[in-house]
Amino acid sequence: MMQAANAQITALNDGIFAVDTEYIRPLQDASHLLAEKGRAAFVDTGTNDSVPLLLDALRQRDIDVADVDFVFLTHVHLDHAGGAGLLMQHLPNARCVIHPRGAPHMIDPARLINGTIAVYGVERTREMYGDIRPIDKHLVVVAEDDAWIDFNGRQVQTLFTEGHARHHYCLHDPASRGVFTGDNFGISYRELDTEKGEFIYPTSTPASFDPIEAHRSVDRIMGCNPEQVYLTHYSRVRDLDRLAGDMHAGIDAYERMALDRRDAENRDAALEAAMYGYLSTRLREHGFKGDDDAMRSILDIDVTLNAAGLSAWLNRLDKRA
């Protein structure tokens, strides 16, 4: 029996609610619940442990599980999609919208699990993600680029944005003047907000970070002329012209950081040190007042993953050379 949960929900705008999935720590990972004239949809799900929270979010909003029409997965990394199979088992009328490169891995998650084990190891993967449930192929809608989907009269658009992962799309929602960006508009934790506003940085998580496509993805998101975007890490940000500029500058900095250490004796360690130095310096310039321990408690997971992603990108370059 699934344990009772008490979801932490933030009401945003236009029928959108951020649900804290409680992945790793509070305010690290959000699922977004959309409500439209009595029907509902989720954008990203968190992990299996997040599913009770998502079901409680429906309860809090007085939405029946039978009234959920869609689960949109921006991409199939497990902090975004690990709980999708289990969640779908509780939503009798929902369909799951997945990028064509990601759909096979949610229908049969064996390769997805093995890829995660390669990053985290067997024990840590089991601890973080549990038993990944497959999604019935008849419940999967394979997304198309630049396609519109009717969500109870609310038109949303799937836009392929492959800088972070080749199986990534963003969901354009004109009704909210917003875009659900998954990881392709970076990471902006609310604990890092200062009087200067939101702090943002790219995510270069393994295994398919591509700087050229990352730039294109930011531009495609901004091409929707949004007033706000909804990040999985963590939720709504505005002041988008400034943040888009910071994203482009960050992508360029990551590329230089990697190329400058391409021939380093201990490349992975050098990249981690450089990544922390870059982000911590930027964060101090942004006015963050916490001490180094506070900074590391927020940044360390992304420092490790971003450095690993840059190392994987360099490995691909090395193979082409």
232 and 120 assigned to the same domain = yes
The answer as to whether 196 is a domain residue is no
Q: Evaluate if residue 225 carries a pLDDT over 70.
A: yes
The answer as to whether 198 is a domain residue is no
Cα–Cα distance, 107 to 110 (Å, whole number):
9
Residues of the domain holding 257: 250-320
173 and 257 assigned to the same domain = no
126 and 161 assigned to the same domain = yes
Q: Evaluate if residue 1 carries a pLDDT over 60.
A: no
The answer as to whether 158 is a domain residue is yes
Handedness of CA 131, 137, 208, 32 (dihedral sign): negative
145 and 259 assigned to the same domain = no
Q: How far is CA 74 from CA 185, 246, 254, 278, in A?
A: 12, 22, 23, 28
Query: Residue 288 region, left (φ>0) first, then alpha (ψ -120 to 50), else beta?
Result: beta
- The CB density around residue 12, as the number of other CB atoms within 10 Å, is 17
How many structural domains does the chain have? 2
64 and 179 assigned to the same domain = yes
Is-cis flag, bond preceding 214, omega within 30?
no
Q: Are the CB atoms for 56 and 31 separated by under 8 Å? A: no
Cα–Cα distance, 97 to 250 (Å, whole number):
30
In the chain the first and final C-alpha atoms are separated, in Å, by 54
Q: Evaluate if residue 4 carries a pLDDT over 80.
A: no
Cα–Cα distance, 80 to 321 (Å, whole number):
34
35 and 175 assigned to the same domain = yes
315 and 219 assigned to the same domain = no
Cα–Cα distance, 28 to 220 (Å, whole number):
25
50 and 171 assigned to the same domain = yes
Q: Are the CB atoms for 5 and 56 separated by under 8 Å? A: yes
Is-cis flag, bond preceding 234, omega within 30?
yes
226 and 273 assigned to the same domain = no
Across 26-41, average pLDDT: 97
What's the pLDDT score for residue 2? 58
Strands (E), 99-250: 140-142, 147-151, 154-160, 169-173, 178-182, 228-231, 235-237
Percentage of the chain lying above the pLDDT 90 cut: 86
Q: Encode pLDDT of 110-132 as tens digits.
A: 888 887 787 778 888 888 888 88
Percentage of the chain lying above the pLDDT 70 cut: 98
3-class DSSP state for residue 253?
helix
Bridge partners of residue 42, in order along the sequence: 33, 71
- The CB density around residue 146, as the number of other CB atoms within 10 Å, is 11
Q: Are the CB atoms for 256 and 264 separated by under 8 Å? A: no
The answer as to whether 224 is a domain residue is yes
Report residue 3's pLDDT band, with 50, 70 and 90 as the boundaries.
Answer: low
The answer as to whether 1 is a domain residue is no
Q: Encode pLDDT of 255-302 as tens digits.
A: 999 999 999 999 999 999 999 999 999 999 999 999 999 999 999 999
